[in-house]
């Protein structure tokens, strides 16, 4: 049975602003690549944390049946939230230890539901540190954001001074 690994990343231009998420999903058998799939998407107005969460959610929701999978993220927010903090949030009715509402509760609930169908191992890697698969996930996230970024308008060049060109 192949080993599944999903490299996930989120990106945002402004925070909030247009954002994107990316997933590099790899099935391997030992050192042999079996299959690779790229996923990406984005939103017009979002935050980096929301896009990091969406990448992990989409990695899990894409799988048609339960599987053992390793999610590799460069987001301490996602890894810490899903492996540590979520248990207290759920126990406290989706409130933090300070009794404040959990930020991005909708996505945390969705991630919690998605991971319940799988045997998930979570790993953290340092972002932008030359990790090839993480860099590919980052590029997918930036590509997912592109349709939502405002188009840069080309300004007309001013006419040169000096009179008529006759």
Give domain status of residue 113, yes or no. no
- Indicate which CATH number applies to the domain containing 35: 3.30.420.10
- C-alpha–C-alpha distance, residues 92 and 162, integer Å: 74
Output the pLDDT for position 165: 41
Assess if residue 62 is contained within a domain.
Answer: yes
pLDDT at 115: 97
Residue 108 lies in a domain: no
In a domain, 34, yes or no: yes
Contacts of 21 (CB under 8 A, 6+ apart): 8, 9, 10, 11, 40, 41, 42, 51, 52, 54, 55, 58, 140, 141, 144
Inside any domain, residue 84: no
Please give the structure tokens belonging to residue 88. Answer: 């207290």
> How would you write the pLDDT of the chain (166 residues) with one tens digit per residue?
679 999 999 999 999 999 999 999 999 988 888 899 999 999 999 999 999 999 999 999 999 999 999 999 999 999 999 999 999 999 999 999 999 999 999 999 999 999 999 999 999 999 988 899 999 999 999 999 999 998 876 665 555 555 444 4
pLDDT at residue number 152: 76
Give the DSSP letter string of 70-85. EEEES-HHHHHIIIII
51 by DSSP, 3-state: which?
helix
Q: Give the number of residues written for the chain.
A: 166
Judge whether 20 lies within some domain. Answer: yes
Question: Residue 128 has what pLDDT?
Answer: 85
- Give domain status of residue 131, yes or no: yes
Is 100 domain-assigned?
no
- The domain in which residue 45 lies consists of 3-76+118-148
What's the structural domain count of the chain?
1
> Would you call 63 exposed, middle or buried from its count of C-beta atoms within 10 A (0-12, 13-18, 19+)?
middle
pTM, full prediction:
0.88
pLDDT of residue 46: 98
Q: What is the pLDDT of residue 118?
A: 96
Which residues participate in catalysis according to the annotation? 9-10, 52, 74, 128, 138
pLDDT for 166: 41
Q: Provide DSSP, 83-143.
A: IIIHHHHHHTTSB-TTSPBPTTHHHHHHHHHHHHTSEEEEEE--TTSS-HHHHHHHHHHHH
Which pLDDT value is given to residue 164? 45
């Amino acid at each position: 049975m192949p080993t599944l690994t999903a490299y996930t990343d989120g990106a945002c231009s402004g925070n909030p602003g247009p954002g994107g998420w990316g997933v590099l999903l790899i099935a391997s058998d030992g050192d042999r690549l079996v299959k690779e799939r790229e996923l990406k998407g984005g939103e017009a107005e979002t935050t980096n944390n929301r896009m990091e969460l969406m990448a992990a959610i989409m990695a899990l929701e894409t799988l048609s049946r339960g599987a053992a999978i390793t999610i590799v993220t460069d987001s301490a927010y996602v890894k810490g939230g899903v492996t540590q903090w979520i248990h207290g949030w759920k126990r406290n009715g989706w409130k933090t230890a300070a009794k404040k509402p959990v930020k991005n509760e909708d996505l945390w609930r969705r991630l919690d539901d998605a991971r319940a169908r799988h045997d998930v191992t979570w790993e953290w890697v340092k972002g932008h540190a030359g990790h090839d698969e993480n860099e590919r996930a980052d590029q997918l996230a930036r590509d997912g954001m592109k349709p939502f970024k405002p188009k840069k308008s080309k300004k007309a060049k001013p006419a040169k001074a000096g009179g008529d060109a006759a």
